[in-house]
Amino acid sequence: MKTLYKLLLLSFLFTWTFSSCSDDDDEASLIKDPVINTVAPVSLLRAEVTENENELLVKWTNPMNKDVYRVEISYSTVTTRAFSSSPILVEASKGTEGEVLITVPCYDVYTISAVAINKAGIRSPKESVKAEPYLPKATESDDKEE
């Protein structure tokens, strides 16, 4: 019986000793480099006409936030306000230039929008620009067919 009491006492002391040892340094457990909760919008957003029909070259400058991760590009027609079925996601890094070539379904005036997204999924305010793609002029042979 004495052996049983000694074992119980030793196990109690052993458990108490190790449970009382803890790391009270809460600062060490905090993340040293948290992702910030805001993202600046892209700057210098512009859409350039290409030589190809229904194509626009969209260019922008990524924000200076160190946590910027991607830029979402979407477009909609001005007349119907119908947005693109799926936005284009482009990899981004702080302060760099970005560009993407988009092909729109038909000739119209489009509103192209860009939103910067950081690593935490926080989205920036939307920046937009209006543009219309190249429309080839009708040739004489096209006029004669009508």
Is residue 4 domain-resident?
A: no
Q: Is residue 22 part of a domain?
A: no
Assigned domain for 88 exists: yes
When pLDDT is cut at 50, 70 and 90, the band that residue 27 belongs to is low
Q: Is residue 140 part of a domain?
A: no
How far apart (Å, rounded) are the C-alpha atoms in residues 46 and 131? 8
Lowest mean per-residue pLDDT among 47-51, 85-89, 122-126, 142-146: 142-146
Domain residues for the domain of 107 are 43-131
- Lowest pLDDT segment from 11-20, 39-48, 52-61, 85-94: 11-20
**Gap between the Cα atoms of 120 and 38, Å rounded:** 10
For residue 10, is it within any domain? no
Predicted local confidence at residue 56, as pLDDT = 94
Give the DSSP letter of residue 135: -
Judged against a pLDDT cut of 80, whether residue 15 lies above it is answered with no
**pTM recorded for the entire structure:** 0.68
- What is the number of domains present in the chain? 1
Phi–psi pair at 47, nearest 5 degrees: -125, 125
DSSP assigned state of 59: E
Sort residue 65 into left (φ over 0), alpha (ψ -120 to 50) or beta. Answer: beta
In a domain? residue 79: yes
For residue 112, the model assigns a pLDDT of: 94
Neighbours of 88 (CB within 10 A): 16
Looking up tokens 């190790």 gives 18
Q: What pLDDT, on the 0 to 100 scale, is given for residue 58?
A: 96
Question: pLDDT confidence of 12, banded at 50, 70, 90?
Answer: confident
Q: What is the CATH number of the domain that holds 95?
A: 2.60.40.10
pLDDT in tens, 49-108: 999 999 999 999 999 988 899 999 999 988 877 767 789 999 999 899 999 999 988 888
